[in-house]
Amino acid sequence: MRDAQTDADPPLAQAVFLDRDGTLIEDRGHLASPDDVVFYPQAARALARLRGRFRLFIVTNQRGIAEGLLRPEQVEAVNRHVVAVLGQAGIAIPRVYTCPHRRSDGCACIKPNPYFLHRAAREFGLDLARSWAVGDHPHDVELARRAGARGLYVLTGHGARHHAELSPDTVVVPGIAEAVDWILAHS
């Protein structure tokens, strides 16, 4: 007879889904080159504090592709650069999920639709109820709600501009470092 404990499925992992522009790096419009990437100074140090406890993913809307302002390979080069720089700091980002559509396209993958969070949960064995989404736009918080995760709103990037659009119960923090503080204190 086999031991019931060894037959049990391993617990599902917790994750943090991070917006890219305005959350980890400065939002400088449609980034066509890795040379245009400017990280927030505290981003890598903050994310390093999540190591070992959370799987980290980037979820980004890049409508510039649909609008012909960016080629998919340009967005991919920027994404690879962001992942590589974080990797040099010991932070693993196993997947960047990129929506290349305009909101008017009605796709399933544009935030706040939870398509990519559900996909990541299946692909990586994640518990969305114990996971977080962090971003500088109300749709990042709505993404978390729709996926059954918890959302945090940062005031960097477009955060200050859209602050008034948030529901009163939204957790708002100054930036990524404070978002990590909140996650660690409330997980």
Q: In the predicted model, is pLDDT for residue 8 greater than 70?
A: no
Q: What is the pLDDT of residue 7?
A: 53
Q: What is the pLDDT of residue 11?
A: 86
Q: What is the pLDDT of residue 10?
A: 75
Q: What is the pLDDT of residues 46-78, one digit of tens each?
A: 999 999 999 999 999 999 999 999 999 999 999
Percent of the chain at pLDDT > 70 equals: 96
The string of DSSP codes covering 100-160 is -S-GGG--SSSTTS-HHHHHHHHHHTB-GGG-EEEESSHHHHHHHHHHT-EEEEESTTTHH
**Mean pLDDT confidence for 159-187:** 97
Confidence tier at 9 by pLDDT (50, 70, 90): confident
Q: What is the pLDDT of residue 2?
A: 41
Cis-peptide, bond into residue 94, ω within 30° of zero: no
With beta carbons less than 8 A apart as the criterion, state whether 59 and 81 touch. Answer: no
Q: What is the pLDDT of residue 5?
A: 43
Higher per-residue pLDDT: 97 or 7:
97
3-state secondary structure string, 3-69? CHHHHCCCCCEEEEEECCECCCECCCCCCCCHHHCCECCCHHHHHHCCCCCEEEEEEEECCCCCCCC
Q: What is the pLDDT of residues 18-45, one digit of tens each?
A: 999 999 999 999 999 999 999 999 999 9
Least confident of 9-18, 70-79, 83-92: 9-18
Query: DSSP state, 1?
Result: -
Q: What is the pLDDT of residues 114-150, one digit of tens each?
A: 999 999 999 999 999 999 999 999 999 999 999 999 9
**Mean pLDDT confidence for 170-177:** 98
Q: How far apart are CA 158 and CA 151, in angstroms?
A: 16
Q: How far apart are CA 4 and CA 67, in angstroms?
A: 54
Confidence tier at 185 by pLDDT (50, 70, 90): very high
Q: Write the CATH number of the domain with boundaries 10-185.
A: 3.40.50.1000
Q: What is the pLDDT of residue 1?
A: 40
The domain locations on the chain are: 10-185
